[in-house]
Amino acid sequence: MKNLYAKLGFIVAVVALFTFFALPVKEKIKLGLDLKGGMHLVLKVQTDDAIKIVTDQAVLQMEEEMKKAGVKYDRVDRSGYDKVVVNNYDLEKERDMETIVKENFSDWTSSSSNGKYVLTIKPNVALQIRDQAVEQAKETIRNRIDQFGVSEPVIQRQGIGGTSDSLLVQLPGVEDPQRVKNLIRNTAVLELKLVQDGPVGTKEALLSKYNNVIPEGTEIVRGSAGREEQGFYLVKKVSAITGADLKDASVGKDEYGSPAVNFRLKSEGSRKFYKVTSENQGQRLAIILDGIVESAPSINAAISDSGIIQGHFTYDQAKDLSLTLRSGSLPASILYMEERTIGPSLGADSIRTGLRAMVAALLLVIIFMLVYYKVSGLNAVVALILNTIITMGALAYFRATLTLPGIAGLILSIGMAVDANVLIFERIREDLRAGKSVKSAIDDGFKKAFVTIFDSNLTTVISAIFLFQFGSGPIKGFAVTLIIGIAASMFTACYVSKVIFELDMSLRKKVNTLSI
Amino acid sequence: MEFFKDTHYKFLKIKYWAFALSFLIIAGGVVSLIVKGGFRMGVDFQGGTLVQLSFSQETPINQLRDKLGNLDLGSSTIQKMGGKGHEYVIRTQATGSSKQAVESMDNPGEVAQKIVDVLRDDEEKRQIAAGKLDLNLAEPSVVKNLLLSLNGGDEAKAAAAAEKVLEIKKGNSGLLKTIDQVPVSLAGVSMSKLREKAFIGRTAIQRTEVVGSQVGKDLRRRATLATIWALAGMMIYIACRFQIVYGIAAVLPLAHDVLVTLAFISFFNYEISLTVIAALLTIVGYSVNDTIVIFDRIRDNIKKYGTKMDFEDMLNLSINETLSRTIITALTVFMTVLCLYLFGGEVIKDFSFTMLVGVISGSYSTIYQSCAWVGIWEKHKQKRKEKAKLEAAQKMASEKTLPKKAEEAVAPVAPKAEAKPKAKPKAGKKK
């Protein structure tokens, strides 16, 4: 009897614990994207871009070094994304070239033929750059998402051990998918460059002013279309300051009261900015965002530590821009590989229908068990209800995500949980028919059925594990609920049910019959 | 209550009919696949765009189809969703590297927008031409901005009203019914002003899914791997717990279940998606579960009766002894899956349909595939042994005297029960 109380106490404690985990359900159970609404994105970081940037820098450095060493050459170009090509260099200075490469370009392999000197980035270095680019992109995107304010976002690198160049981004509850997508993908490369000429209506017209040759140290950029800035500008190649010099950016208003972005500079940046603005008063400064001139105000006075970006923004655009500037620029452009957006009302519908199906299934099974197994059926029903509570509690405890297929898994595990009870009850019935006493029939029934239950449940768990391994979000949710549901049913059907039978027997004085 | 008390059905007597039935269904599936040109692959596996739209009023599917024809989307399909409301799912395929496919990948929201735009009626087009905003299509932030521009810049009021609009939409398939539902007083905007700037369209976007063809390939590979590994894992487990023959006899029927279910998916035109694969794997788990229960009983009975009983009779006995459990469990699982199918909503209809077919196939295959194959195997083994015995006897006879040979040859006709094979069929290790 004492033993029985201990068992009962244990069961109550377990159930209480899991109830505590699960309550209040609305807060504790994490809903998946398909129920809550939101976005699921898989994006690929174009890591070639990152290598291209490194190669571009190498081109500039090569030019500089060759000038320093007095080696004559025609042109230094980037070829592909990872090659620096020196055209028509002074072949007699081969040795000098070797010294330059040895001293400055240890990350590159060199070769020369037909008057061309080619540097190629080493594969391991390229791999490292790619890896860094993806990591940096991940951090930048995380920053942006955090600042935008999404609760419980998932931002992960995919692939085995997180080595691939694609990122998984899950944003539950996001209601403005388009806006968030732009926010994530905005490379937000900010450059401030001195304007040499422009804007001119077409590129050709601009070029013709310079005999169709772009003057040394300058480049042509496009102005923002459909505004007074449209057209083409000739600007200095070297930036006065870039996004990297920013300390902070925030939404503000320009002199006409329309939304704009205020920025403040880090100390080194403000020194640079002061120098440029004081030396070039009266000239214009192009504010270039992602390669497009947003505005080109004249420099009226020397500025050191702050400025404003005007660009006919709406309030939200200005807010998002300041956010992306704060979070830093992406090291490479981004391509969307997969996108799933579930509207909030569809999610709400799914929860409703899912719950309806679950309640219906539960009721149907309960009625059936009561009719078929009479009083013992009640035992199974108790086990079933406890099973549901424990499963919910476990879901909450493991912070598992409940998805729509997950609800299906819960419903399915109702059917499967009952299976354990059915197996046991059928064994007991057989033994009773064979003339065994109620007590030994119950003992034997549980003992014999347990092996079968264990075996058969394990196979379901095996398939669920592989589903979890290979599946994506919603499917993972299904696998998890199924596994948890089955584990819970082992406890409720094999342990709780038995204790209930024992309790029943201890309460009755004489045990001759069993309602089963 | 008891449905099956002390039954003695000779299940395996009609096993060849059962084989024929299975063969017929699977062959039918193959024919259906050939006729239909393969499975309908979901965007998960094929790559492409899926847009689910809800309309505020009944909209004939033909009308939608005609209008979509104006849009250059490659091959697209429209499917009406059951359930309440007027919802349609429009799918387009990712056609490899075509420019259009790349563009649609690049900006899926735009594809959805394009689809909605082309579906608009004249009245809606007029409203849009007049520069009005469609409140049913606008994202909450856009609604907020509109209200903000109308109420003189009161951020908090605009946000609260936009939130309320979203709430209303959530309760009604993402749609506002009339513009009067917008809480103008909460937003601090006059209704007449709002009417100048906004209108209520008849469409809302419920979900969009865009999967690049590369991702589709990857998902397909992963689904295949998951299925193969799950089957292999189970075979190994059962082979360890029972005998290798039982492992094979348990896993082969799983292939049967998968094939039968796939055949029905093809018959009823459901599409293969990630959730369907999940359902298939669950069926695999469930079917094995069923098989193991009977195998367990066979193992018990082999211990109990040894080889005193004809093997097929023993199989029949085991099936009958566990029949009650098989049926009751199948019934409860079937009931739950049926609830899922009937009440679980449209989004997982393909999942619940797959489960529905699979549960039936799983219970059936336990008896008519797993047990039948074990029976055939054991019989074959027995025959081989008898043949070996017979040959040995013949050899002995021919060694003695030639004329007696004819007499000896009659011996094997004797009833099987008497011809006791020496080696007992071992079933599994003892615990």
Distance of CA B418 to the CA centre of its chain: 49
Contacts of A460 (CB under 8 A, 6+ apart): A416, A482, A486, B282, B285, B286, B288, B289
Look at B189 and B75; give whichever has higher pLDDT. Answer: B189
Q: A232-236 and A306-309: which strand pairing?
A: unpaired
> Would you say residue A148 lies in a domain?
no
- Average pLDDT for residues A172-182, to the nearest whole number? 82
For residue A261, the SS3 value is strand
CA distances from A71 to A6, A56, A104 (A): 91, 20, 15
**Contact state of B226 with A469 under an 8 Å Cβ cutoff:** yes
Sign of CA pseudo-dihedral A77, A80, A83, A85: negative
- Which of the listed residues A124, A139, A162 is the one where a domain comes to its end? A124
- Residue labelled with tokens 């999404």: A150
C-alpha span between A328 and A137 (Å, rounded): 10
* Residue A108 three-state SS: strand
Comparing A30-44, A64-78, A304-318, B330-344, the range with the smallest average pLDDT is: A304-318
Residue contact B274–A346, C-beta within 8 A: no
pLDDT at B106: 55
More confident residue, B187 or B353: B353
* Phi, psi dihedrals of residue A43, rounded to the nearest 5°: -125, 150
Does the pLDDT at position B415 exceed 60?
no
The residues spanned by each domain of chain B are: 11-40+212-400, 48-211
- Output the pLDDT for position A360: 92
pLDDT at residue B74, as a whole number: 66
CB atoms within 10 A of CB A35: 27
Torsion of CA A181, A187, A192, A194, to 10 degrees: -110
Give yes or no for residue B424 having a pLDDT over 50: no
pLDDT of residue B263: 94
Residue A463 has its nearest CB partner, among B171, B282, B331, at B282
How sure is the predictor about B103, in pLDDT bands with cuts at 50, 70 and 90? low
Return the CATH number of the domain spanning residue range B11-40+212-400.
Answer: 1.20.1640.10
Are A354 and A391 found together in one domain? yes
Indicate the angle between helix axes B15-36 and B372-400, nearest 10 degrees. 120
The answer on pLDDT for B430 being more than 60 is no
- Average pLDDT estimate for B399-419: 50
In a domain, A145, yes or no: no
Enumerate the residues of chain B whose CB falls inside 8 A of the CB of residue A474: 274-275
- Does residue B105 register a pLDDT over 80? no
Tally the domains of chain A.
Answer: 3
pLDDT of residue B264: 94
- Tell me which chain A residue has its CA closest to the CA of residue B328: A422
Judge if A352 and A406 occupy the same domain: yes
> Are A237 and A305 contained in the same domain?
yes
* Cβ–Cβ below 8 Å for B335 and A471: no
When comparing pLDDT for B194 and B47, which is higher? B194
Q: Kindly state the average pLDDT of the residues B153-178.
A: 85
Choice among A326-335, B70-79, B125-134 with the minimum mean pLDDT: B70-79
A473 touches A170 (CB < 8 A): yes
First to last CA, chain A: 24
The CATH number given to whatever domain includes residue A103 is: 3.30.70
- For the purposes of burial, counting CB atoms within 10 Å of the CB of B53, is it exposed (0-12), middle (13-18) or buried (19 or more)? buried
For residue A218, list its beta bridge partners: A236
pLDDT of residue A290: 79
The pair phi, psi for residue B134, each rounded to 5°, is -80, 110
Mean pLDDT of A114-134: 88
pLDDT digits (tens, 9 = 90+) for B3-22: 777 777 777 778 888 888 98
User: What's residue B281's pLDDT?
Assistant: 81
Question: CA-to-CA distance for B118 and B213, rounded, in angstroms?
Answer: 25
pLDDT at A175: 78
- The burial class, CB within 10 Å (0-12 / 13-18 / 19+), for A191 is buried
| Of the partner residues B148, B285, B345, the one whose CB lies closest to the CB of residue A354 | B345
**pLDDT averaged over chain B?**
80
Kindly report, residue by residue over A370-414, the tens digit of the pLDDT: 998 888 888 889 998 999 899 989 989 988 888 888 888 888 888
Is the CB of residue B62 less than 8 Å from the CB of residue B80?
A: no
Please enumerate, as own/partner, the contacts of A97-101 that have beta carbons within 8 Å and a separation of 24 or more.
A97/A66, A97/A71, A99/A69, A100/A62, A100/A65, A100/A66, A100/A69, A100/A71
Least Cα distance to A396 among A481, A454, A288, A490 occurs for: A481
Q: Which of A44-48, A282-286, A470-474, B292-296 has the weakest average pLDDT?
A: A470-474
What is the per-residue pLDDT for A338?
84
**Residue B211 and residue A496: Cα distance in Å, rounded?**
46
Residue A261 and residue A274 in contact, taking contact as beta carbons nearer than 8 Å: no
Residues in chain B: 431
**A293 and A260 in a common domain:** yes
A446 inside domain: yes
Q: Specify whether A298 is located in the same domain as A194.
A: yes
CA distance A156 to B68: 37
Q: What is the mean pLDDT of residues B301-318?
A: 82
ipTM: 0.75
Which among B105, B166, B337 has CB closest to A336? Answer: B105
Which pairs from B110-113 meet CB under 8 Å and 24+ separation?
A: B111/B49, B111/B51, B111/B73, B111/B208, B111/B210, B112/B49, B112/B51, B112/B205, B112/B208
| B289/A419 CB distance under 8 A | yes
Burial letters B10-28, b for 16+ CB under 10 A, else e: ebbeebeebbeebeebbee
pLDDT of A28 = 81
CA distance B53 to A105: 57
Q: How many A-B residue pairs are in contact by the CB < 8 A criterion?
A: 258
Q: What residues contact B179, with CB distance under 8 A and at least 6 apart? A: B135, B191, B194, B195, B198, B199, B200
The answer to whether the beta carbons of residues A284 and A343 sit under 8 Å apart is: no
A364 CA to chain B: closest CA distance, Å? 7
Candidates A179, A340, A452; nearest CB to B209: A340
Residue A130 falls within a domain, yes or no?
no
- Within-domain flag for A168: no
Greatest extent of chain B over all pairs of C-alpha atoms, in Å: 120
Average pLDDT over residues A426-452: 87
Task: Give B398→chain A minimum CA distance, Å.
Answer: 51
Note down the domain range covering A427. Answer: 2-36+344-507
Decide if A280 is inside a domain: yes
**Separation between Cα atoms, residue B316 and residue B256, nearest integer Å:** 21
Of all residues in chain B, the percent with pLDDT exceeding 90 is: 6
Domain boundary among A75, A93, A124: A124
Q: Which of B288, B336, B341, B354 to mutate against chain A (most A CBs within 10 Å)?
A: B336
Beta bridge partners of A342: A38, B207
pLDDT at B378: 80
A484: burial class by Cβ within 10 Å (0-12, 13-18, 19+)? Answer: buried
Q: What is the CATH number of the domain that holds A408?
A: 1.20.1640.10
Q: How far is the first Cα of chain B from the last one, in angstroms, to the nearest whole number?
A: 34
The three-point CA angle B342-B323-B366 to 5° equals 75
Name which residue leads in pLDDT, B32 or A305: B32
Residue B175's pLDDT is 86
| DSSP E strand stretches across A351-442 | 401-402
**For the residues A319-343, what does the mean pLDDT come to?**
82
Contact A166, A158 (CB under 8 A): yes
Strands A116-121 and A83-87: antiparallel
**Whether residue A354 is found in the same domain as residue A319:** no
- E-strand spans in B258-309? 271-272
- The DSSP string of A418-470 is HHHHHHHHHHHHHHHHTT--HHHHHHHHHHHHHHHHHHHHHHHHHHHHHHHHH
Mean pLDDT, residues A146-161 taken together: 81
Cis peptide before B412 (omega within 30 of 0): no
Average pLDDT, rounded, for chain A: 84
Cβ atoms of A294 and A224 within 8 Å: the answer is yes
* A164-167: Cβ within 8 A, 24+ apart: A165/A44, A165/A45, A165/A47, A165/A130, A165/A133, A165/A134, A166/A42, A166/A43, A166/A44, A166/A45, A166/A337, A167/A42, A167/A43, A167/A44, A167/A45, A167/A134, A167/A137, A167/A138, A167/A141
Closest chain A residue by Cα to residue B143: A176
Distance of alpha carbon A91 from alpha carbon B429, whole angstroms = 82
Specify the range with the lowest mean pLDDT, choosing from A474-488, B80-94, B192-206: B80-94
Cβ–Cβ below 8 Å for A364 and B284: no
Is there a single domain that holds both residue A351 and residue A498? Answer: yes
Q: Which residue of A has its CA nearest to B231?
A: A463
pLDDT score of B83: 64
Cα nearest neighbour of B101 on chain A: A337
